Amino acid sequence: MRQRAFSVLLLFVVLSIASASSQDPKIDPGQRYLLLATSATLTMQAELDKAAAQGFRIVAGTSRGNSEIVIVLERKGKPAESVDYKLVATMETPTFQKEVRELAAQGYRAVPRTFISKPHVMAGPEIVVIMERSPNSAKRFDYLLLATTLTSTLEKEWAEAAGQGYQLVGMLTRGELMVLLEREAAGRPSAQNQGVSGKQPAS
């Protein structure tokens, strides 16, 4: 009986801690660095919005291997100079391409070191990247996603893309090797032709 009561008490304490950690923490006005960690992409998006409004900028992101995304941010500007972040997370390559294309057409740019593979409890890993839009930037970018299980194919396609002016944003693996590349777009392209370009992912 005592053991059961202790187990119930322990469970209550654990749930209380989890609940407290999920609440929006107060950020010290003088705090320079901030670490966000959650397995829910909607929660991460909301926390990024709040952090950006307080002048924080993303430094890097990663996955812990347990479906949790971890993002490190540094305060670099005043709230009035904050950037706008959008988190793209999907298991489907065509969907990922479509969402990146749409955001790129709106002036967003992929943040380096945030192209990651996020494990999923019930299915395969998600492809994740965070896009940012600075208030004073007029530049637009084209994106190319390469995906293949063959290293020789990846090497060939990467070399071809580099010859077209593409540069590396990030690289990940989720069974297949995936590389996200970007180049500055000429002029200000429309939503119909902006975004992911080039070949379809290799298989």
The identity of residue 170, as a single letter, is G
Handedness of CA 87, 123, 71, 11 (dihedral sign): positive
Provide the pLDDT for residue 25: 53
Distances (CA, A) of 151 to 49, 128, 132, 146, 203: 38, 22, 30, 11, 11
Q: Structure tokens of 128? A: 């994740």
How open is the CA angle 33-135-146, to the nearest 5 degrees? Answer: 80
Provide the pLDDT for residue 131: 98
> Is 71 part of any domain?
yes
> Is 107 part of any domain?
yes
Ranges in the chain, pLDDT < 70: 1-26, 77, 79-80, 187-203
Provide the pLDDT for residue 12: 36
Q: What are the residues facing 131 on neighbouring strands? A: 86, 110
| Domain region containing 96 | 33-184
> Is 202 part of any domain?
no
Residues 6 or more apart whose Cβ sits within 8 Å of residue 37: 64, 68, 69, 70, 71
* Full-model pTM: 0.76
Which tens digit of pLDDT belongs to each residue from 81-129?
779 999 999 998 889 989 998 999 999 999 999 999 998 777 778 999 9
SS3 20: helix
> Is 62 part of any domain?
yes
Provide the pLDDT for residue 201: 38
Provide the pLDDT for residue 77: 67
> Is 199 part of any domain?
no
**181, containing H or E segment:** strand 177-184
> Is 21 part of any domain?
no
Q: Structure tokens of 101? A: 């294309």
Provide the pLDDT for residue 127: 94
**Total of domains in the chain:** 1
Identify whether the C-beta of residue 136 lies closer than 8 Å to the C-beta of residue 150. Answer: no
Provide the pLDDT for residue 69: 94
> Is 85 part of any domain?
yes
Provide the pLDDT for residue 193: 39
> Is 140 part of any domain?
yes
